[in-house]
Chains A and B, each alone.
Chain A
């Protein structure tokens, strides 16, 4: 193990390490902690310049105000309308593309695979004008499905890379055995491979959920009104309206961050497995 396990060092080093840990964490999360504290400060404190002292009371009303008087709940629902179909769509498509590229040998296999991989890395701006135009022409501009369709297509690149590598690591004998038995190809996909893909599907779902929930660029390019804008774009426009009302900006930021954070803590193992795929041989 590297570095040397701390249990093998002197008691002083051990004590030092155990003190350094919370201190480092506190410093690391300082911006987050600051915002969390500000979100619970009453507006009157901020107006009087009480930024760092004890708040006069814990102002849960900031959150209440956002929940009842702002468009935040609406934006959150909009985000779900974009995020969930994207997760389902991208995972479904990539199960199939991943299967095709992992199981079959055909001449353009690697070429198709690397097209997916390369497409996944391109800057969004090179797609912006044509995609916006396409969405307009399809009559899907400023709708959740217009945004979700694009996300499904784009995320298919990353998901294909992921699924293909995952299926490739499965024992190929399973498929050969099924073929010897005369099982049809689509049945092999559905009954042999799909049941084994559950961990990959779980990992991809949490990853894509987070990516799409946090997307800002496409939200601003393809949606414009409060009825359809996801939370990231919504928060940005609210930020423009709430000049200097940092207690609201802070509370809104934390609310916007909540769903992916909950998702992460609930599905941590899958999330990290998905993110670090390929980081080890």
Chain B
């Protein structure tokens, strides 16, 4: 036994080190993905017997207006959330100085990211609250009539996205601050001697060096946009009239709805969301894979 171990430990050791983590990860993450795919072909209330209904859940989904509302909102989220990248860069450039007290400024700007989205949602609900919210007052003061953002179908999704952008910009900002810190000073000086400044400097000299930071910023922003659930749930509960739903919230609502659990239908929605995310995930993984193999 011990002779065998001595001869083979280099080959066996990685698997022994991997085993506990990999088993847990398989049990709670990898296998459930396939189970969800499977469940999406069933009619199941989560307790009783599940009945195979083939693609009926997906057929229903294609005819469900709420599905299209959620899908449309997901697209809006994705597009507007990307604003976090340039805005985060902007704040990072603004803060990349060494005046007295800068460290405190940087951490206070980063602050929103540390707070739970539940709390962010409550803060912005207060901000938007009709009659006394700060934002409502500002609009009322500047235009004459206030707008109840979260009760208005036209604005509600944008109002929630604004709340989501707050911590997301902070996150991107910190990524870029670290990136800017590591920009090669000699290249910047050389470019300066050549007369580069402002936008040109940013575009041709700084941004190429910030590429790793930009990549991570885009990854976390895309994932964050498609994962949006907390804010919708806290701020509007999908309302008014379901107009602020996103796929993640719609899925939760259907699977654990107060009118009875529809696990199969929920799973089908989750599969669609998963498929959308897989497009992005494959892209990220492909890029990371290429970087790894280059080493």
Alpha-carbon distance between A211 and B211 when the two chains are bound, in angstroms: 26
Min CB distance, B255 to chain A, in Å? 6
Q: Does B93 contact A (CB under 8 A)?
A: yes
Does B266 contact A129, Cβ atoms closer than 8 Å? yes
Q: Does B179 contact A (CB under 8 A)?
A: yes
Residues of A within 8 Å of B115, CB to CB, are 32, 214, 257, 260-261
Per-residue CB contact flags for chain B residues 96-125 toward chain A (1 = under 8 Å, else 0) read 111100000101111110111111101110
Interface size on A, residues (CB 8 A): 99
Does A94 contact B21, Cβ atoms closer than 8 Å? yes
Given A114-B288, A119-B30, CB of A250 within 8 Å of CB of B126: yes
Chain B facing A: main interface SS: helix
Min CB distance, B73 to chain A, in Å? 15
Per-residue CB contact flags for chain B residues 163-183 toward chain A (1 = under 8 Å, else 0) read 000100001001110111111
Does A129 contact B263, Cβ atoms closer than 8 Å? yes
Interface size class of B (residues with CB under 8 A): 35 or more
Alpha-carbon distance between A3 and B15 when the two chains are bound, in angstroms: 49
Within 8 A of A (CB), among B227-277: 227, 229-230, 233-234, 247-248, 251-252, 255-256, 263, 266-267, 269-271, 273-274, 277
Min CB distance, A241 to chain B, in Å? 14
Residues of A within 8 Å of B229, CB to CB, are 124, 216-217
Given A130-B31, A253-B122, A280-B212, CB of A104 within 8 Å of CB of B13: yes
* Besides A96-B18, A123-B277, 4 other A-B contacts (C-beta < 8 A): A29-B108, A96-B17, A133-B46, A157-B25
22 A-B Cβ contacts within 8 A? A2-B206, A30-B134, A34-B123, A34-B126, A34-B134, A97-B18, A101-B14, A104-B14, A125-B251, A128-B251, A130-B31, A130-B39, A134-B27, A214-B115, A216-B234, A217-B230, A257-B114, A264-B111, A264-B114, A268-B107, A279-B212, A280-B178
What residues make up the interface of A, taking CB atoms closer than 8 Å to B?
A: 1-7, 17-18, 21, 24-25, 28-32, 34-35, 38, 49, 51-52, 93-94, 96-97, 99-101, 103-104, 106, 109-110, 112, 114-119, 121-134, 149-150, 152-154, 156-157, 160, 184-186, 189, 210, 213-214, 216-217, 220-221, 232, 235-236, 239, 246, 249-250, 253-254, 256-257, 260-261, 263-265, 268, 272, 275-276, 278-281
